[in-house]
Structure 1
Amino acid sequence: MAGVGQGDTVDAMMFPLDRYARLFQTSETHTPGAEDSWEFYDATEQALEMTLMKNHILLIHHGKTLLETLNMSEASTLRGVCRGSSMLIIYKLKTHTRRFRVKFKDYQNLTAVESCSKVANILSKYFPLKISNIEKDMTKETSASQTLTGEVTLGQISQVLTKKGSGSLPMAYNTICLTQPANIDSIVRLCLADPSFPAFVESVEKTLLNIQAECK
Protein backbone atom coordinates (compact mmCIF):
# COMPACT_ATOMS: atom_id res chain seq x y z
CA MET A 1 0.00 0.00 0.00
CA ALA A 2 1.30 3.42 -0.92
CA GLY A 3 2.11 5.95 1.73
CA VAL A 4 0.22 9.22 2.19
CA GLY A 5 1.08 12.24 0.15
CA GLN A 6 3.53 14.84 1.39
CA GLY A 7 0.79 17.43 1.81
CA ASP A 8 -1.11 15.15 4.20
CA THR A 9 1.67 15.20 6.80
CA VAL A 10 1.67 18.96 7.42
CA ASP A 11 1.38 19.73 11.17
CA ALA A 12 1.54 16.00 11.92
CA MET A 13 3.38 14.50 14.91
CA MET A 14 5.87 11.84 13.88
CA PHE A 15 7.80 9.39 16.06
CA PRO A 16 10.33 6.86 14.70
CA LEU A 17 9.87 3.23 15.70
CA ASP A 18 12.44 0.53 16.24
CA ARG A 19 10.01 -2.36 15.67
CA TYR A 20 6.44 -3.13 14.72
CA ALA A 21 4.59 -6.45 14.96
CA ARG A 22 1.02 -7.46 14.16
CA LEU A 23 -0.75 -10.58 15.28
CA PHE A 24 -2.33 -13.04 12.89
CA GLN A 25 -4.86 -15.27 14.58
CA THR A 26 -5.29 -18.69 13.04
CA SER A 27 -8.74 -18.99 14.57
CA GLU A 28 -11.15 -16.57 16.24
CA THR A 29 -12.44 -19.45 18.37
CA HIS A 30 -8.89 -20.41 19.43
CA THR A 31 -9.12 -24.02 18.28
CA PRO A 32 -6.95 -26.31 20.44
CA GLY A 33 -3.58 -26.79 18.77
CA ALA A 34 -3.89 -23.65 16.65
CA GLU A 35 -1.15 -21.09 17.26
CA ASP A 36 -1.25 -17.37 16.60
CA SER A 37 1.72 -15.84 14.81
CA TRP A 38 3.31 -12.39 14.73
CA GLU A 39 4.61 -10.62 11.64
CA PHE A 40 7.55 -8.33 12.40
CA TYR A 41 8.96 -5.21 10.76
CA ASP A 42 12.01 -3.24 11.91
CA ALA A 43 13.86 -0.08 10.97
CA THR A 44 17.02 -1.82 9.78
CA GLU A 45 16.59 -1.20 6.04
CA GLN A 46 13.56 1.14 5.85
CA ALA A 47 12.27 3.88 8.10
CA LEU A 48 9.55 2.77 10.50
CA GLU A 49 7.37 5.62 11.76
CA MET A 50 4.21 6.36 13.69
CA THR A 51 2.43 9.55 12.66
CA LEU A 52 -0.57 11.26 14.21
CA MET A 53 -2.17 13.47 11.57
CA LYS A 54 -3.80 16.81 12.21
CA ASN A 55 -7.13 15.20 11.25
CA HIS A 56 -6.68 12.63 14.09
CA ILE A 57 -5.65 9.75 11.86
CA LEU A 58 -2.92 7.51 13.28
CA LEU A 59 -0.61 5.98 10.67
CA ILE A 60 2.26 3.52 10.86
CA HIS A 61 4.59 3.40 7.85
CA HIS A 62 7.41 1.07 6.92
CA GLY A 63 9.12 2.93 4.13
CA LYS A 64 6.33 3.59 1.61
CA THR A 65 4.17 0.76 2.96
CA LEU A 66 1.23 1.71 5.12
CA LEU A 67 0.88 -0.85 7.93
CA GLU A 68 -1.86 0.72 10.08
CA THR A 69 -4.53 3.39 9.68
CA LEU A 70 -6.63 4.24 12.74
CA ASN A 71 -9.20 6.99 13.04
CA MET A 72 -8.78 8.47 16.51
CA SER A 73 -12.10 10.31 16.26
CA GLU A 74 -13.79 6.88 16.16
CA ALA A 75 -11.68 5.17 18.79
CA SER A 76 -14.45 3.57 20.85
CA THR A 77 -13.23 0.09 19.84
CA LEU A 78 -9.60 0.80 20.76
CA ARG A 79 -7.67 0.07 23.91
CA GLY A 80 -4.00 -0.37 24.73
CA VAL A 81 -1.23 -0.79 27.24
CA CYS A 82 2.17 0.87 27.43
CA ARG A 83 5.21 -0.52 29.20
CA GLY A 84 8.65 1.01 29.01
CA SER A 85 9.41 1.76 25.35
CA SER A 86 6.73 -0.62 24.00
CA MET A 87 3.04 -0.19 23.31
CA LEU A 88 0.33 -2.74 22.50
CA ILE A 89 -2.87 -1.58 20.78
CA ILE A 90 -5.99 -3.73 20.39
CA TYR A 91 -8.98 -2.83 18.28
CA LYS A 92 -12.16 -4.64 17.36
CA LEU A 93 -13.47 -4.92 13.83
CA LYS A 94 -16.85 -6.32 12.79
CA THR A 95 -15.58 -9.87 12.36
CA HIS A 96 -12.44 -10.08 14.47
CA THR A 97 -10.03 -8.35 16.85
CA ARG A 98 -6.68 -7.01 15.69
CA ARG A 99 -3.56 -6.51 17.76
CA PHE A 100 -0.30 -4.81 17.00
CA ARG A 101 2.61 -3.62 19.09
CA VAL A 102 5.36 -1.09 18.54
CA LYS A 103 8.69 -0.36 20.15
CA PHE A 104 9.90 3.22 20.08
CA LYS A 105 13.47 4.42 19.62
CA ASP A 106 15.48 7.41 20.76
CA TYR A 107 14.40 10.54 18.90
CA GLN A 108 15.94 14.01 19.09
CA ASN A 109 16.22 14.80 22.80
CA LEU A 110 13.86 12.00 23.92
CA THR A 111 14.77 8.48 24.94
CA ALA A 112 12.74 5.54 23.63
CA VAL A 113 10.87 5.31 26.94
CA GLU A 114 10.15 9.05 26.95
CA SER A 115 8.89 8.90 23.34
CA CYS A 116 6.57 6.03 24.20
CA SER A 117 5.30 7.86 27.27
CA LYS A 118 4.66 11.04 25.27
CA VAL A 119 2.71 9.17 22.60
CA ALA A 120 0.79 7.25 25.28
CA ASN A 121 -0.27 10.50 26.95
CA ILE A 122 -1.50 11.82 23.60
CA LEU A 123 -3.36 8.67 22.59
CA SER A 124 -4.92 8.22 26.04
CA LYS A 125 -7.05 11.26 25.22
CA TYR A 126 -8.72 9.21 22.49
CA PHE A 127 -9.06 5.73 24.02
CA PRO A 128 -8.25 3.82 27.24
CA LEU A 129 -4.50 3.24 27.38
CA LYS A 130 -2.95 1.87 30.54
CA ILE A 131 0.54 3.16 31.26
CA SER A 132 2.43 0.60 33.32
CA ASN A 133 5.03 1.91 35.79
CA ILE A 134 6.80 -1.43 36.04
CA GLU A 135 10.22 0.10 35.39
CA LYS A 136 9.76 2.62 38.22
CA ASP A 137 8.49 -0.15 40.51
CA MET A 138 11.49 -2.33 39.67
CA THR A 139 13.82 0.59 40.40
CA LYS A 140 12.19 1.06 43.80
CA GLU A 141 12.40 -2.65 44.59
CA THR A 142 16.06 -2.75 43.54
CA SER A 143 16.84 0.27 45.69
CA ALA A 144 15.02 -1.24 48.64
CA SER A 145 16.88 -4.53 48.37
CA GLN A 146 20.39 -3.08 48.05
CA THR A 147 22.99 -4.40 50.45
CA LEU A 148 24.31 -1.90 52.97
CA THR A 149 27.93 -0.96 52.29
CA GLY A 150 30.67 0.89 54.13
CA GLU A 151 30.49 1.36 57.88
CA VAL A 152 27.24 -0.19 59.05
CA THR A 153 25.90 1.43 62.21
CA LEU A 154 24.02 -0.22 65.05
CA GLY A 155 20.97 1.82 64.09
CA GLN A 156 21.01 0.45 60.51
CA ILE A 157 21.42 -3.11 61.81
CA SER A 158 18.49 -2.71 64.20
CA GLN A 159 16.28 -1.23 61.44
CA VAL A 160 16.97 -4.19 59.12
CA LEU A 161 16.31 -6.70 61.89
CA THR A 162 12.99 -5.06 62.81
CA LYS A 163 12.00 -4.68 59.10
CA LYS A 164 11.74 -0.89 59.49
CA GLY A 165 14.59 -0.01 57.16
CA SER A 166 15.44 -0.62 53.50
CA GLY A 167 18.34 -2.71 52.33
CA SER A 168 19.93 -5.85 53.66
CA LEU A 169 22.96 -6.57 55.80
CA PRO A 170 26.36 -7.37 54.25
CA MET A 171 27.21 -11.02 53.70
CA ALA A 172 29.32 -11.12 56.88
CA TYR A 173 26.15 -10.62 58.95
CA ASN A 174 24.33 -13.45 57.14
CA THR A 175 27.00 -16.10 57.58
CA ILE A 176 26.30 -18.63 60.33
CA CYS A 177 29.53 -19.84 61.89
CA LEU A 178 28.57 -20.67 65.44
CA THR A 179 26.51 -23.76 64.91
CA GLN A 180 24.92 -26.03 62.33
CA PRO A 181 21.34 -25.55 61.05
CA ALA A 182 20.23 -28.80 62.67
CA ASN A 183 21.43 -27.55 66.05
CA ILE A 184 19.72 -24.19 65.51
CA ASP A 185 16.38 -25.94 65.12
CA SER A 186 16.89 -27.74 68.45
CA ILE A 187 18.02 -24.55 70.18
CA VAL A 188 15.00 -22.56 68.95
CA ARG A 189 12.59 -25.31 70.03
CA LEU A 190 14.26 -25.41 73.44
CA CYS A 191 13.99 -21.62 73.77
CA LEU A 192 10.30 -21.66 72.85
CA ALA A 193 9.69 -24.23 75.59
CA ASP A 194 11.20 -21.85 78.15
CA PRO A 195 8.40 -19.76 79.81
CA SER A 196 10.76 -16.78 80.13
CA PHE A 197 11.64 -16.71 76.41
CA PRO A 198 8.74 -14.47 75.21
CA ALA A 199 9.74 -11.84 77.77
CA PHE A 200 13.34 -12.09 76.53
CA VAL A 201 12.25 -11.56 72.90
CA GLU A 202 10.16 -8.55 73.93
CA SER A 203 13.12 -7.13 75.82
CA VAL A 204 15.38 -7.56 72.76
CA GLU A 205 12.83 -5.79 70.53
CA LYS A 206 12.58 -2.86 72.94
CA THR A 207 16.36 -2.61 73.04
CA LEU A 208 16.54 -2.54 69.23
CA LEU A 209 13.97 0.26 69.13
CA ASN A 210 15.96 2.21 71.74
CA ILE A 211 19.12 1.84 69.63
CA GLN A 212 17.24 3.14 66.56
CA ALA A 213 16.03 6.17 68.53
CA GLU A 214 19.54 6.90 69.80
CA CYS A 215 21.01 6.78 66.27
CA LYS A 216 18.55 9.25 64.72
Structure 2
Amino acid sequence: MMAKGESRMFRLQFEGSSREEALEECASAARRLQEYLPVGAPQTNPPPSAQEHGTSMEETSNDVPGVKQGSVSVRELVQSFLGQPGSSLPLAYCHSALPSQELGPFLRLCLLDHSFPALVEEVENELKKLAQD
Protein backbone atom coordinates (compact mmCIF):
# COMPACT_ATOMS: atom_id res chain seq x y z
CA MET A 1 0.00 0.00 0.00
CA MET A 2 1.25 3.50 -0.74
CA ALA A 3 0.53 6.36 1.62
CA LYS A 4 2.25 9.71 1.17
CA GLY A 5 5.21 8.15 -0.63
CA GLU A 6 5.68 5.35 1.91
CA SER A 7 5.30 1.69 1.17
CA ARG A 8 3.40 -0.50 3.62
CA MET A 9 3.32 -4.28 3.55
CA PHE A 10 1.51 -6.77 5.68
CA ARG A 11 1.40 -10.54 5.84
CA LEU A 12 -1.51 -12.87 6.28
CA GLN A 13 -1.37 -16.49 7.36
CA PHE A 14 -4.02 -18.93 6.17
CA GLU A 15 -5.03 -22.25 7.69
CA GLY A 16 -6.66 -25.22 6.06
CA SER A 17 -7.02 -28.94 6.47
CA SER A 18 -4.43 -29.23 3.70
CA ARG A 19 -1.85 -27.03 2.02
CA GLU A 20 -4.07 -26.84 -1.08
CA GLU A 21 -7.01 -25.60 0.99
CA ALA A 22 -4.84 -22.93 2.64
CA LEU A 23 -3.55 -21.84 -0.79
CA GLU A 24 -7.13 -21.56 -2.08
CA GLU A 25 -8.06 -19.40 0.94
CA CYS A 26 -5.03 -17.22 0.20
CA ALA A 27 -5.97 -16.87 -3.49
CA SER A 28 -9.55 -15.99 -2.54
CA ALA A 29 -8.35 -13.31 -0.12
CA ALA A 30 -5.97 -11.88 -2.74
CA ARG A 31 -8.81 -11.64 -5.28
CA ARG A 32 -10.97 -9.85 -2.72
CA LEU A 33 -8.20 -7.42 -1.74
CA GLN A 34 -7.55 -6.57 -5.40
CA GLU A 35 -10.97 -4.87 -5.45
CA TYR A 36 -9.54 -2.20 -3.15
CA LEU A 37 -5.76 -2.04 -3.58
CA PRO A 38 -2.86 -3.50 -5.55
CA VAL A 39 -1.87 -7.00 -4.47
CA GLY A 40 1.36 -8.69 -5.46
CA ALA A 41 4.77 -9.96 -4.51
CA PRO A 42 7.21 -7.44 -3.00
CA GLN A 43 9.30 -5.57 -5.56
CA THR A 44 13.04 -5.25 -5.21
CA ASN A 45 13.04 -1.85 -6.95
CA PRO A 46 10.05 0.41 -6.30
CA PRO A 47 8.41 1.81 -9.44
CA PRO A 48 9.09 5.48 -10.20
CA SER A 49 6.52 7.79 -8.70
CA ALA A 50 4.22 10.00 -10.77
CA GLN A 51 6.11 13.08 -9.54
CA GLU A 52 9.34 11.77 -11.08
CA HIS A 53 7.58 11.69 -14.44
CA GLY A 54 6.29 15.26 -14.04
CA THR A 55 2.65 14.34 -13.54
CA SER A 56 0.59 14.44 -10.40
CA MET A 57 -1.63 11.72 -8.97
CA GLU A 58 -4.68 13.74 -9.95
CA GLU A 59 -3.57 13.90 -13.59
CA THR A 60 -2.93 10.17 -13.86
CA SER A 61 -6.07 8.91 -12.14
CA ASN A 62 -9.62 8.91 -13.39
CA ASP A 63 -11.39 11.91 -11.94
CA VAL A 64 -14.65 11.16 -10.18
CA PRO A 65 -16.61 14.26 -9.13
CA GLY A 66 -16.77 14.69 -5.35
CA VAL A 67 -14.24 11.94 -4.65
CA LYS A 68 -10.76 12.84 -3.50
CA GLN A 69 -7.83 11.34 -5.40
CA GLY A 70 -4.41 10.35 -4.06
CA SER A 71 -3.27 9.75 -0.51
CA VAL A 72 -4.97 10.99 2.64
CA SER A 73 -3.66 11.93 6.05
CA VAL A 74 -4.77 10.36 9.32
CA ARG A 75 -6.53 13.61 10.15
CA GLU A 76 -8.55 13.46 6.90
CA LEU A 77 -9.51 9.84 7.64
CA VAL A 78 -10.65 10.74 11.14
CA GLN A 79 -12.67 13.72 9.91
CA SER A 80 -14.43 11.50 7.41
CA PHE A 81 -15.15 8.79 10.02
CA LEU A 82 -16.58 11.40 12.37
CA GLY A 83 -18.85 12.64 9.57
CA GLN A 84 -17.44 16.15 9.38
CA PRO A 85 -18.82 18.09 6.39
CA GLY A 86 -16.56 18.59 3.39
CA SER A 87 -14.51 15.46 3.99
CA SER A 88 -14.20 12.92 1.19
CA LEU A 89 -12.01 9.87 0.69
CA PRO A 90 -10.50 8.11 -2.34
CA LEU A 91 -12.57 5.31 -3.87
CA ALA A 92 -10.52 2.65 -2.07
CA TYR A 93 -12.16 3.81 1.17
CA CYS A 94 -15.69 3.92 -0.25
CA HIS A 95 -16.26 0.15 -0.50
CA SER A 96 -17.74 -1.89 2.30
CA ALA A 97 -15.16 -4.37 3.55
CA LEU A 98 -17.75 -6.88 4.71
CA PRO A 99 -20.64 -8.19 2.63
CA SER A 100 -23.95 -7.60 4.40
CA GLN A 101 -24.41 -11.31 5.14
CA GLU A 102 -21.11 -11.28 7.09
CA LEU A 103 -21.85 -8.01 8.89
CA GLY A 104 -24.75 -9.37 10.98
CA PRO A 105 -22.81 -12.13 12.76
CA PHE A 106 -19.90 -9.75 13.33
CA LEU A 107 -22.20 -7.15 14.93
CA ARG A 108 -23.89 -9.80 17.10
CA LEU A 109 -20.49 -10.92 18.35
CA CYS A 110 -19.53 -7.33 19.19
CA LEU A 111 -22.83 -6.58 20.92
CA LEU A 112 -22.61 -9.73 23.04
CA ASP A 113 -19.25 -8.59 24.40
CA HIS A 114 -20.03 -6.68 27.61
CA SER A 115 -17.01 -4.39 27.10
CA PHE A 116 -17.96 -3.38 23.54
CA PRO A 117 -19.86 -0.13 24.41
CA ALA A 118 -16.86 1.11 26.42
CA LEU A 119 -14.56 0.27 23.51
CA VAL A 120 -16.76 2.23 21.10
CA GLU A 121 -16.64 5.24 23.43
CA GLU A 122 -12.85 5.01 23.74
CA VAL A 123 -12.47 4.78 19.96
CA GLU A 124 -14.68 7.82 19.46
CA ASN A 125 -12.68 9.83 22.01
CA GLU A 126 -9.39 8.85 20.35
CA LEU A 127 -10.77 9.81 16.93
CA LYS A 128 -11.74 13.21 18.28
CA LYS A 129 -8.23 13.69 19.70
CA LEU A 130 -6.68 12.74 16.34
CA ALA A 131 -8.98 15.17 14.54
CA GLN A 132 -7.69 18.00 16.74
CA ASP A 133 -3.99 17.21 16.16
Normalised TM-score (structure 1): 0.29
Q: Is the strand fraction higher in 1 or 2?
A: 1
Rg comparison, structure with higher value: 1
Q: Is the helix fraction higher in 1 or 2?
A: 2
Q: Which has the higher contact order (CA 8 A, sep 6+)?
A: 2
